[in-house]
Structure 1
């Protein structure tokens, strides 16, 4: 007799029983794999947080790594409405008296006559000259003011003349504007008129300088520095004082330019250095501490990598730099000290005094080859650089994560095999129980049919 479904012969819910047995076999191992995977992934995340905090701090460290940064200069104008200025590291620290005598202007000319839009001007040649440069246009007898404007603007050899048309009560007027300011860019217009008269009030002669109004004369910008007059084609003076560029804004006298070390840029970088270091300390504490109140531990509590980098950085922060020529060898001498929480704090008065007296030597403490910034950068790079310690640790943990996936697949295969084996065993049991049941029923029937056999349903 064949059994089509497990449990029919025995009356047992075999499928449920097998499911429970398989789950009981796999649950502990599966939970253990889940737990281990969560720990590994937590470690990877923790190392990611550590690497990020180190990278942020490294950025602030590298901003203090270049000695040129401590040679930056600031240029302060006593009146930004008269002039502004910038300075680079080559500028001398000093003060200068500044007067803006006049602003540079671009030359502008306009026709005195008004023309109808259909008027032809005359034929011949127009030549535009600016300094040593010039270009010429051939004008046809049919050309209107618009045609001449377009020809000027489209000329490939145009030396710097822009043409436009304005519409006034008397008609159209042609405007010539130098595209650059200054005397060297003044526009001179001459004509070779077909009528033979090149400066009269007819034909192309109407477009030469003597027949034009001048709403804006060509003019150089002029300033005085400590009483000395300097001219420029524009309002920018970049070759007057080494490393300094002065921009004239409006006419004015009695102003002052102050060039100093750029303390604001340096103090900003030092403030960022301190803030990012303190953020790193917070990360160290979060990942490596134990909270007794909540009985919770940081993900990297007791980890050798976290302990190693935190110890190394703290040592570099508090160490003394040897071989410097200046008066500073520690951060504490700049007013940067460590508080009870292991974080840095700044005494601004001490730092300002150090910058006032020894600006360049402050830079040496950070940016010398064995200075604090360089040694910190090398220490951090060993941990977060390509193939650094953190990458190696993370890669090793990832191998364990990948191995858990392999273990899960192996566990699934074992459980499938176990389920199949149990199903076979219970099916065989069902067949046996069914066979025994059939034999019992047969024997009971045979015994009931024997002569004189007891029948509980018969009458006595």
Structure 2
């Protein structure tokens, strides 16, 4: 059977594929027209989406014009950029300030005496170097704390000594009372200033017989505020009291800043009157001294038995009103509370009165805060009599009964004329020094308690050899870390403690987790102690956390016997235990301290010591060669923490001869141009981001005069936003021109040429840009009045001078024009564009959906017709194939007939 070869029938010779293609092609013309119509719809839809995209971009700039932040953004500038860098954030307010940089922050640096070399000669003595940043016994009160919190007006004072020498003392940069003393003592007069309890004392050391006088300068009141505006005929001017505790003091301000420790939910103290009547007081709710007074006076069981008050001398006084004789008047602690002792009233009253001293005064400390401060297990001071004997044999027994502060002790010793002994703070200001000023020869100096324990409490009870005439207590371990110490600065170098969880294990293997991850309930050292103790109690563990005995941290210790380890671990790779300083284990417990101890071997060289110091991270050490012929190697140590809080106290039994080369100072700025009405601010760094709300201030240098800091509306931001709107609108214009274009040469039309939606959209936008709006309370009614106008190309352009003048003269009107409710340009323009571009109800959405539906319907019809034509093509191919088969059969039959005919013919022959 013959078939089809290459689309050509072998029987018929017809090109079947060409015939079928021709037949189908005639029928496909209609389908092509439908497809072209669908493509036109799709192109138009694409144009609509392009138009919509440009409108959305334009509306983004419109929305920015409608944001309050666009017009309320403030910019801070400094008139002296060499002195300050300033920036405003979202919380700033428009204003002008006068700021002057008075001092840059510095890191404390000390330098040792000279050594033979740095790397070969050992120091020869094993010792320990202790680095600490607290525990000073002479921390002075800030001037703002004086005069019941009213402070001191900073200015200048004039001092005249008895010789008639006069000098003006500038006190405009003083922060605390010690700064005042230092400025006076640095003058050329013969006057020496000192601090006693709550007042200043000026002593004239000249031989003059005139008047010792302090007066104001330029109408100021600095001398009066310092209590020294006086004239005296003698050589001593005793100032008025300028510091006393009042009922308004928060508890965190008393007890040398250590507050009081109450027992939550339980009563803290019991008061027993002389008629044997008693009542208990719970101080949990007390926040101030006034609260303490009220809780005592208003106690339901008091009923006038005892009256509490804060005296004019700034002490807490309890008065027994019963007049009874049955027993003594006393205050005792309850439930292990330390509050009564910390208030100074855990005692027996004499004459029906109990008085508690609440503060160490202007620059001293309470004795009860030494040796780690008040604790249930710590030593209790009993200040009685102490025997002193100097090297020349002079002796005296001094009665210290009733002393409360370290200054009281020093003054009592120095006031005794029977002994040639001088008491003072030691070189590091962390302890007391007793110096024999008698002849070098004679009996050894002796200090012994005869009653009470004051000498041993102060670590000065001793009998020295004949060649030694100075007793140094060493550190007296002043309590300066307490329950209220913030975790935000408790970490190394004043950093914040990490939050998370820790795991503690006791001797019996009982482990428990302590959750310290909540920043709202984990803010202080006290919060940590409470959470550890609560968790230990719940777990039944033999562990307790408390403030340590050295006053510089806390301890997590065993309660279940001796010589076993308490172990503290991190949970989930946290760093809480490490930053608290309690990660690890130790016999009887682990201690967190703010002090760093460095063990030095006798074989260590200066370089060895340098490496050990650098490993602590608390300070950096290096070797300096001073260039001298002998002993030129010096050890220099610099605190890693800047500012006053980073001041290092270095203590060692070995004489390194450390001397300060750079003081630890906070940065200091003055806010205001007049020192008498301005105030000072400090920062441990040179940043003052909390000084003025909304301003980030960086001090770059000390200024000779104030810098003006202006915080004003950021007009550059407004102008930028308007320019952005103009750019977006002009891009929209370019897009519409392309979409509606017509090229006469090529007869090419843009996809939206003649489209009514484009014309409507352009008309609406141009109308908004040219019309006067109904803006009340604003002189500006149209964009053209802002300097925004059309150019010859249908685009917008800005007259910057016009806009800048309006922003300078009437910025509120500019804001009102754009943002007035219902009628503002940005409000109305947003409504117009949104009405067109809304993804659900917008006119562009409706037309896009219609075009899309039409294109889809046509494409579906094209697909259907394509299917029909393909079916028809197959049918035609089959028909032509069948025809070819039939023709082939007929041809075969004809051939057969012709063969028969030929056969018959041959037979006849």
With the shorter chain as reference, the TM-score category is 0.7 to 0.9
How far has the Cα of 1:266 moved from its partner? 1.3
Aligned twin of 2:687: 236
Aligned residue pairs total 428
Aligned twin of 2:827: 374
1:175 alignment partner, one of 617, 637, 653 = 637
Q: Does 1:248 align with 2:712?
A: no
Question: Would you say the 8 A contact 1:117–1:172 is kept in 2?
Answer: no
SS at match of 2:616: helix
Find the aligned partners of 2:21 and 2:120 in 1 and give their Cα distance. 98
SS at match of 1:236: coil
Aligned twin of 2:887: 433
Q: Does 1:270 align with 2:271?
A: no
Aligned twin of 1:47: 48
1:149 alignment partner, one of 613, 619, 644 = 613
How far has the Cα of 1:128 moved from its partner? 0.9
Q: Does 1:329 align with 2:331?
A: no
**If the length of structure 2 is used for normalisation, what is the TM-score?**
0.42
Check 1:440–1:380 CA distance in 2 against 1; reply closer, same or farther (3 A cut): same
Question: Would you say the 8 A contact 1:108–1:178 is kept in 2?
Answer: no
Check 1:44–1:78 CA distance in 2 against 1; reply closer, same or farther (3 A cut): same
Aligned twin of 1:384: 837
1:45-444 matched pairs, under 5 angstroms: 45-87=46-88, 90-94=92-96, 97-112=98-113, 116=119, 122-123=126-127, 126-130=130-134, 132=480, 134=552, 135-140=594-599, 145=609, 148-149=612-613, 152-153=616-617, 162-167=618-623, 173=635, 175-180=637-642, 182-190=643-651, 198=653, 200-201=654-655, 206=656, 211-215=658-662, 217-223=664-670, 225-228=672-675, 230-233=680-683, 234-238=685-689, 243-254=694-705, 255-292=707-744, 294-370=746-822, 371-389=824-842, 390-403=844-857, 406-444=860-898
Find the aligned partners of 1:369 and 1:294 in 2 and give their Cα distance. 50
Question: Would you say the 8 A contact 2:623–2:636 is kept in 1?
Answer: no
Q: In terms of mean alpha carbon deviation, does 38-47 or 263-272 score higher? A: 38-47
Q: Does 1:38 align with 2:27?
A: no
Higher helix proportion, which one? 1
Q: Which has the higher contact order (CA 8 A, sep 6+)?
A: 1
Find the aligned partners of 2:122 and 2:12 in 1 and give their Cα distance. 117
Q: In terms of mean alpha carbon deviation, does 102-111 or 415-424 score higher? A: 102-111
Q: In terms of mean alpha carbon deviation, does 243-252 or 353-362 score higher? A: 243-252
Find the aligned partners of 1:337 and 1:451 in 2 and give their Cα distance. 109
Question: Would you say the 8 A contact 1:107–1:219 is kept in 2?
Answer: no
Check 1:404–1:111 CA distance in 2 against 1; reply closer, same or farther (3 A cut): farther
How far has the Cα of 1:220 moved from its partner? 2.4
**If the length of structure 1 is used for normalisation, what is the TM-score?**
0.78
Find the aligned partners of 2:692 and 2:755 in 1 and give their Cα distance. 58
Where structure 1 has 5 or more consecutive residues not aligned to the other structure, the ranges are 154-161, 192-197, 456-460
Where structure 2 has 5 or more consecutive residues not aligned to the other structure, the ranges are 136-479, 482-551, 553-593, 626-631
Find the aligned partners of 1:449 and 1:68 in 2 and give their Cα distance. 113
1:436-455 matched pairs, under 5 angstroms: 436-444=890-898
Check 1:53–1:110 CA distance in 2 against 1; reply closer, same or farther (3 A cut): farther
How far has the Cα of 1:366 moved from its partner? 0.6
How far has the Cα of 1:372 moved from its partner? 0.9
Question: Would you say the 8 A contact 1:117–1:146 is kept in 2?
Answer: no
Q: In terms of mean alpha carbon deviation, does 364-373 or 317-326 score higher? A: 317-326
How far has the Cα of 1:265 moved from its partner? 1.6
Aligned twin of 1:9: 11
Find the aligned partners of 2:34 and 2:18 in 1 and give their Cα distance. 25
How far has the Cα of 1:359 moved from its partner? 0.7
Find the aligned partners of 2:22 and 2:59 in 1 and give their Cα distance. 56
Question: Would you say the 8 A contact 2:740–2:754 is kept in 1?
Answer: yes
How far has the Cα of 1:272 moved from its partner? 1.6
Check 1:147–1:350 CA distance in 2 against 1; reply closer, same or farther (3 A cut): closer
> Residue deviations 1:329-348, cap 9 Å, x none?
22222222234443223233
Question: Would you say the 8 A contact 2:107–2:639 is kept in 1?
Answer: yes
SS at match of 1:252: coil
Check 1:61–1:252 CA distance in 2 against 1; reply closer, same or farther (3 A cut): same
Find the aligned partners of 1:269 and 1:380 in 2 and give their Cα distance. 18
Q: In terms of mean alpha carbon deviation, does 399-408 or 283-292 score higher? A: 399-408
Question: Would you say the 8 A contact 1:7–1:14 is kept in 2?
Answer: yes
Question: Would you say the 8 A contact 2:131–2:651 is kept in 1?
Answer: yes
Check 1:119–1:392 CA distance in 2 against 1; reply closer, same or farther (3 A cut): farther
Find the aligned partners of 1:412 and 1:223 in 2 and give their Cα distance. 87
Aligned twin of 2:422: none
SS at match of 2:639: strand
How far has the Cα of 1:285 moved from its partner? 2.4
Find the aligned partners of 1:117 and 1:172 in 2 and give their Cα distance. 14
Question: Would you say the 8 A contact 2:111–2:634 is kept in 1?
Answer: no
Q: Report the RMSD for the aligned CA atoms in angstroms.
A: 3.7
Find the aligned partners of 1:190 and 1:394 in 2 and give their Cα distance. 83
Find the aligned partners of 1:377 and 1:13 in 2 and give their Cα distance. 67
> Residue deviations 1:98-141, cap 9 Å, x none?
54333222323344456549968745572512485551245456
Find the aligned partners of 2:129 and 2:102 in 1 and give their Cα distance. 39
Check 1:92–1:446 CA distance in 2 against 1; reply closer, same or farther (3 A cut): closer
SS at match of 2:77: strand
Question: Would you say the 8 A contact 1:123–1:138 is kept in 2?
Answer: no
Question: Would you say the 8 A contact 2:39–2:855 is kept in 1?
Answer: no
How far has the Cα of 1:317 moved from its partner? 2.5
Question: Would you say the 8 A contact 1:137–1:151 is kept in 2?
Answer: no
Q: In terms of mean alpha carbon deviation, does 109-118 or 419-428 score higher? A: 109-118
Find the aligned partners of 1:402 and 1:129 in 2 and give their Cα distance. 80
Check 1:117–1:401 CA distance in 2 against 1; reply closer, same or farther (3 A cut): farther
Find the aligned partners of 1:431 and 1:382 in 2 and give their Cα distance. 69
Aligned twin of 2:466: none
Q: In terms of mean alpha carbon deviation, does 35-44 or 141-150 score higher? A: 141-150
Aligned twin of 2:225: none
